[in-house]
Amino acid sequence: MTTHKRQTEGPECPSSVGWTTARQLTLADSEHPFALEAGGSLDAVEVEFEDYGTLNAQRDNAVLICHALSGDAHAAGWDAQAEVSGRNWRIRKPGWWDAMIGPGKPIDTRRWYVICANVLGSCYGTTGPASLDPTTGRPYGPRFPVVMVEDWVRLQARLLDHLGIDRLHAVVGGSLGGQQALEWALAFPGRVGKAVILAAAPRLSAQGLAFNAVGRYSILHDEHFRQGDYYDHQPPARGLAAARMLAHITYLSEQGMHHKFGRRLQDKDRPDFGFGVEFAVESYLEYQGRAFVERFDANSYLYITRAMDYYDPAARYGDGDLTTACRRISAQVLTVSFSTDWLYTPQQAKEFVGAMCACGKSVTYVDLPSPYGHDAFLVETERLGRILHSFLAAGGRP
């Protein structure tokens, strides 16, 4: 069942997970269309996923990892195909959570069979707005249907059906991935043993909606956007870069930015007095914007941030009341917030924990002190790793 393998030629892989190769599966076709929450359906859905470790004979040791906004299925190991597939940003870099997943690591692949799938609407191998619409032979572009967190989770369930996995030992995710983990616990209470929700809350705040709105405004009004039909032309790179720069501010804490950059000038002793890069923090943001444009599709950014906006399980499952919604949950839940995260705040996490407690559900909560803001779920791998390792193992072997 495992797809990661050592490359037969080339250098030794620096990750204990080894070289990985993603797989793609067709999970919807014209005979089995995939219906969407917001309306419409897709007659062709490919899903890209990676897996690490081995599914046991009882098929009860699977752990599903859910990625965040700009993530992909390549959670661990080194991509053996990066050069061939043109995914150059993956060359000489491990998967986005390699520190957490692998033999002897917090999510231990000697024990767990770990799966990570790219979400619908993304641009990393799962069907999205840049994919070809089979009815026209051209990219969907703006004709791609609106997707929601609920769709992602139902599609992941379809993937598990295909892999012969009835029940997950655990589902784990940070940020938008944490919202998927929560949705798993709500939508499929019988299929989830444990749900780990990191740096996430049941819904985005008004301020979070506002940041997403400004990011999308920049993309939608980029001269190259062409109403989303830009695939034969220059992409709306400046709009996407601006959206990413802005989002990056929300991923770091004020305190973290102060320590990392402060008001330090970039490679000079005195300012140039102009509108180019003066301060180190400007240089950092522009770099982040440029790098993102090389690897992400602007339409995917629109669709995925909109999914983030819409997610509201209290509305869907509780008629506006989170406690009512939580009554559906039977998974053991672990929630970790990070003290300086201001995108999904500890306060929001506590509201969720309060709702879980109010309906007598099993919930473990840690507010981890960290200067790294929202990004902490990607950075605080050591302390977070210890918590995750214990939580996944608790209750004996599956």
Exactly one of 15, 175, 253, 337 is catalytic; which is it? 175
Smallest distance, a copy of itself to C-beta of residue 279, A: 5
Smallest distance, a copy of itself to C-beta of residue 355, A: 16
Q: What 8-state DSSP symbol labels residue 265? A: B
Give whole-number Cα distances, 369 to 136, 366, 374, 382, in Å. Answer: 51, 9, 12, 13
Smallest distance, a copy of itself to C-beta of residue 343, A: 10
Closest to a copy of itself by CB, 302 vs 363, is: 302
Closest to a copy of itself by CB, 49 vs 251, is: 251
Closest to a copy of itself by CB, 109 vs 300, is: 300
Smallest distance, a copy of itself to C-beta of residue 238, A: 4
Annotation says 374 is catalytic: yes
Give Dmax over CA atoms of the chain in angstroms: 67
Closest CA to 127 of 155, 104, 90, 103: 155
Whether the CB-CB separation of 34 and 45 falls below 8 Å is answered with yes
The three-class DSSP label of residue 89 is helix
Closest to a copy of itself by CB, 89 vs 279, is: 279
Closest to a copy of itself by CB, 57 vs 206, is: 206
CA 165 – CA 173 distance, rounded (Å): 19
**Residues in touch with a copy of itself (CB under 8 A):** 38-39, 146, 203-207, 209-211, 213-214, 216-218, 220-221, 223, 238, 241-242, 245-246, 249, 252, 254, 257-258, 260-263, 271, 273-275, 278-279, 281-282, 285-286, 289, 302, 306, 309-310, 312, 342, 345
Annotation says 16 is catalytic: no
Annotation says 175 is catalytic: yes
Name the pairing type of β-strands 62-66 and 168-174: parallel
**What sign does the dihedral 23-199-17-168 (CA atoms) show?**
negative
Smallest distance, a copy of itself to C-beta of residue 207, A: 5
Q: Which long-range contacts (CB under 8 A, 24 or more apart) does 6-14 make?
A: 7/80, 13/77, 13/78, 14/78, 14/94
CA 96 – CA 100 distance, rounded (Å): 9
Exactly one of 15, 70, 374, 375 is catalytic; which is it? 374
| Active-site residue list | 175, 341, 374
